[in-house]
Amino acid sequence: MHASPRTAAAPTGDAAADPARAETPRQAFRRGMVQAAPFLLVLIPFGLLFGVVAQAAGLRIAETMGFSILVLAGASQFTAVELMSHDAPVLLVIASALAINLRMAMYSASLVPIIGAARPWERALAAFVLTDQTYATAIQNHERHPRLAIGQRLAHFWGASLVICPPWMVFTYVGATAGNFVPADWPLDFAVPITFLSMIAPMLRTWAQVAAAAVAVALALALAGMPNGTGLLIAGPAGMAAGAAVEAWGERRAARAALVAQARR
């Protein structure tokens, strides 16, 4: 009988070199939980803050929880609530939230080589629980263990999702219901930049990635005075364009260097 590609392979020389290849799906699930656990240090205050902000903006608890359960995307949730609190037009609220969440489309595309072989319902569930944190753990796991079976990759992803998604919902509820008891001098808003810094900084490994981050940050700061945070609609695409341009330049340079090296032989 041939082993299913969804199960862990028997230990071989490759498995000895990478012990993760010998993991059962249950072990990969636990490893995903462990890898995602540090994100709780910033996710908990992030969730509390959203619950507090949503209540301050006039949302009912059911509406607040609907955001965190159905949208499940902290950055766009904060943007939407902030715009709603300033009586921004509905179309602007929707457009801003969608623009911020466009990164999920890029996340999904880059996850195709990792979990694209999963069954349709698994891919649908993965799309629902895809967040910045679960994406970061999936990419880091694939970079460290590129030859895992699809069952091991999915199990790791589900483990990370279990650590990230339910606590986000739970602490949104805590913030929405007990936010009045949180001391005003507690700087919960530190969780927003720290969350993204903790995910992005370890992933800036190429000049293209650095250029994308630098341009996006610079423009976001320069355009911070634009109404309703609309400067992000410019900073985000500009950063992606800068990263793509630097990557294309690097590929052309590498191609020229290869041609020169070949000509010298």
Domain chopping of the chain, boundaries: 13-203, 206-265
According to DSSP, residue 10 is labeled P
What's residue 202's pLDDT?
67
Q: Which long-range contacts (CB under 8 A, 24 or more apart) does 11-19 make?
A: 14/147, 18/145, 18/147
pLDDT over 80 at 140, yes or no: yes
Q: Which of 95, 43, 46, 129 is nearest to 237 (CA)?
A: 95
Q: Which residues, 6 or more positions from 207, have their beta carbon under 8 angstroms from its beta carbon?
A: 246, 250
How many Å separate Cα 107 from the centre of its chain? 7
**Span 52-108, pLDDT tens digits:** 889 888 899 999 999 999 999 888 888 888 888 888 888 888 888 887 788 888 889
Confidence tier at 2 by pLDDT (50, 70, 90): very low
Q: Which pTM was predicted?
A: 0.73
Counting residues of the chain whose pLDDT is more than 90, the rounded percentage is 37
Distance CA 206, CA 212 (A): 10
Distance CA 99, CA 80 (A): 11
